[in-house]
Amino acid sequence: MLDHLIKGATVVDGTGAPAYTADVGIRDGRIAVIGIVTEEARTTEDAHGLVLAPGFVDPHTHYDAQLFWDPYATPSLNHGVTTVAAGNCGFTLAPLNPARPDDADYTRRMMSKVEGMSLVALEEGAPWSWRTFGEYLDALEGRIAVNAGFMVGHCALRRHVMGPDAVGGQPSAEQLSEIVRLLHDAMDAGAWGFSTTQSSSHSDGDGRPVASRHAGPDELLAMSRAVGEHEGTQIEAIVAGCLDQFSDAEIELFVEMSASAGRPLNWNVLTIDSAVPERVPRQLLASEQARKAGGRVVALTMPILTPMNMSLGTFCALNLIPGWGPVLGLPVPERIARLREPDVQAELLRHATSKEAGVFRRLTNFARYVIGDTYSEANAGLTGRIVEDIARERGQEPFQCLVEICAADDLRTVLWPMPTDNDPASWSLRAETWQHEDVMLGGSDAGAHLDRMCGAPYTTRFIGDCLRGRKLVGLEQAVKMLTDDPARLFGLRERGRVEEGFHADLVLFDPERIDAGTATLVYDLPGDSPRLDSKAIGVRAVWVNGVEAIRDDEVSGAVPGKVLRSGRDTRTVATR
């Protein structure tokens, strides 16, 4: 007897093949039968007019902490994501050195600063009972509703071995051997490989460059070679050039890391903008060079413009524009005074439009900012209005007007930019770039920057756009890009397709309705901290390992997810 039978669904199987109508039966967590099914089932549902697809795979998340207080990885699971890759950007919660109990506090403060996680939620929502990476994975086993795989973070490895000297110091030969040994231990326990960052945007809770930013090529290559000794492993890496264009040295580093491991290396995020046509070929040069050297470098890129808010009061992307950080880092009263100075405004605008601003230039059309939540009587009625309209009424320049609005709220005003790359030429360039063999959809950062951005619903928003919006990609190809493509990059065993014998990770949706709702702030994190949430529209049900986890955007209460461990749950994706 089948556990569940889905009858008459339009099956889009993840391979890119044309859709077809079939019944799909689930038994013991796997897809048991596809076709005209007459076998009895404990439960049955009619899926005529609905699409049944493999569960989506999100290749870049930061759910490392959130899964402890939110086993559903909301809102990702609601939007059909059944497998998440976490431990990215060089940041993980393990290993922790038992000889230095304060390292846990350092890690929490670092994650709060660099990934925008609520410090209260980190302190109250996770048990922090582990020491080794394997113990961290064990702490999640049996209590999550999504499948989750984890890289081990370079920063944690360095901190474990070098202590405070990990920031600013270089390891001795003995220390480097210990870092590599810990990496081996983590992969033996199931880590998918290691992640690292050398991005200038990544600083710890004390405002200093995070530990991995101090690593030299020899250290990175020693770790990369270690990755190549384990089955089913990967590398994820971030460098400063990810934000705009790689230097020659960064391309060489990526190529050498991947080739020395004999494993794929993925990075994020490739920002595609018709105003900077030279960016895509420059970034993909790393992939071309890697192929020649026996490696593979994969660029992640988002198929949507992620809803992202800004603030002059708390850390956001604007802080990362050269010249802005020192001003936005001042105490609020002094910050307001400085922001109101015409010379300071002129200098900030000069930096905002400079080449050095890189991808952040797309966020600097301040005239097109939309006012979000406001907190003063002076700003009553401004929510939802565009800055240039308000500035015209007041006889002010747009940035001057924006500063005055924020000053009236003591800089608490929520601002929603309208990115400059939402033009037909940019969308055409995106569709072209998506066809490249070393470009993959992803980069949601789900689980991070919780009150600033909401990238998790990219799956449903993208499919809705493909079906009823720009229609840049057909449905079958869109599903493949969200399922089989990332599953194959990570070497996931029997996942990513609707195929007999595969794990029953499935999403059932209405093609006439599938979409993502408007991102709104909710206060449901530990300590009542806020996060942006987005309702899933048109998603009928989501199954993880054959168990219903979502029905009509509501969680079922079941926790059928698995911690996916390298080797056991992933196979090697060789680059040669």
pLDDT in tens, 428-449: 999 999 999 999 999 999 999 9
Q: Does residue 574 have a pLDDT over 90?
A: no
Contact 505, 147 (CB under 8 A): yes
Domain boundaries defined on the chain: 2-54+498-555, 57-306+422-452, 317-416
Average predicted confidence (pLDDT) for the chain: 96
Q: What is the DSSP string of 442-464?
A: ----BTSSTTTB--TTHHHHHHH
Q: What per-residue confidence (pLDDT) applies to 198?
A: 96
- Identify the helix (H) or strand (E) that includes residue 547: strand 547-551
Specify the CATH number of the domain 2-54+498-555. 2.30.40.10
pLDDT for the residue 352 = 95
What pLDDT score does 521 carry? 87
What was the pLDDT predicted at 282? 98
What tens digit of pLDDT does each residue of 125-171 get?
999 999 999 999 999 999 999 999 999 999 999 999 999 999 999 99
Q: What is the pLDDT of residue 161?
A: 98
User: Is pLDDT at 273 greater than 90 in this prediction?
Assistant: yes
pLDDT in tens, 172-217: 999 999 999 999 999 999 999 999 999 988 999 999 999 999 999 9
Q: Which residues make beta-bridge pairs with 150? A: 86
Region 269-277 average pLDDT: 95
Q: Percent of the chain at pLDDT above 90?
A: 95
pLDDT at 62: 98
Strand-pair partners of 508: 52, 541
Over range 61-88, report the average pLDDT: 98
Query: Among candidates 66, 106, 105, which has minimal Cα distance to 86?
Result: 66
Sort 218 into a burial class: Cβ within 10 Å, 0-12 / 13-18 / 19+.
exposed
pLDDT digit string, tens, across residues 552-561: 999 999 999 9
**Mean pLDDT across 29-50:** 98
Between 159 and 315, whose confidence is greater?
Answer: 159
Closest CA to 148 of 565, 573, 574, 568: 565
Tell me which architecture the domain covering 57-306+422-452 has in CATH.
Answer: Alpha-Beta Barrel (3.20)
- Amino acid occupying residue 207: G
Q: What is the pLDDT of residue 267?
A: 98
- Residue 109: pLDDT band by 50, 70, 90 thresholds? very high
pLDDT at residue 89 tops 90: yes
For strand 2-11 and strand 51-54, is the pairing parallel, antiparallel, or unpaired?
parallel
Q: How confident is the model at residue 576 (pLDDT cuts 50, 70, 90)?
A: confident
Total length of the chain: 576
pLDDT score, position 563: 98
Q: Which residues of 294-322 are buried (b: 16+ CB within 10 A; e: fewer)?
A: ebbbbbbbbbbbbbbbbbbbebbbbbbbe
- Confidence check: pLDDT of 356 > 90: no
The answer for residues whose C-beta is within 8 angstroms of residue 204's C-beta and 6 or more apart is 106, 109, 110, 113, 114, 167, 210, 211
Q: Edge-to-edge, what's the strand order for the sheet holding 147-150?
A: 56-58, 81-86, 147-150
Token pair recorded at residue 396:
């002010």
Predicted confidence (pLDDT) per residue in 301-311, tens digit = 999 999 889 99
**For range 247-267, the mean pLDDT:** 98
